[in-house]
Amino acid sequence: MAKDMLGVDISGIWSTKSVTINGRKITLSGFIQDLKADAEDPGESDDILMYSCYPAKGFSWGDTSPEMECLSAAICFYLEEDWVMMRYFIKELQKLPQTDTHVAFTDEELNAGYWMSEELFAQEFGSFMKKLGAVPFLDLDREKTNPN
């Protein structure tokens, strides 16, 4: 179940790639420092950093760059959202024009985005497991009731 969420207000200045989330200015280097400092175990955030942020040179929107993916991770982090919400924010950030921007999401939109993200993750995970040859639980149950 989605946790209680607060609305979000995100602004970005295209010329400087500066971003504010709910009035808080964020930077790539500050996000990386905060993410590392917040880790409860050493290396806990390495996958986010390695795949989403280390290739990035800053933040971006309106594209499919590592900079845009890293911004989606930063939004999740500073809003204390589950990482699965990166899928929602990536889709929303891709829609934005590459100009100065402002976008706000209501609690209802964030909640819908959470469930959309969970569904996308389930589909991605199911596809990945299928490639590995895993048998879905439902198929195992069907085999027990209809052996052929």
pLDDT, position 146: 53
> Cβ atoms within 10 A of the Cβ of 85, count?
23
pTM equals: 0.76
Backbone angles phi, psi at 6, to 5 degrees: -105, 150
Mean residue pLDDT across the chain: 84
**67-123 tens-digit pLDDT:** 999 999 999 999 988 888 888 999 999 999 999 999 999 989 998 888 888 888 778
Give residue limits of the domains in the chain: 8-118
DSSP character string of 66-120: HHHHHHHHHHHHHHT--GGGHHHHHHHHHHS-SSSEEEEE-HHHHHHHHHHHHHH
Question: Which residues, in sequence order, are CB contacts of 60 under 8 Å at separation 6+?
Answer: 17, 67, 68, 71, 98
**40-49 tens-digit pLDDT:** 888 888 888 8
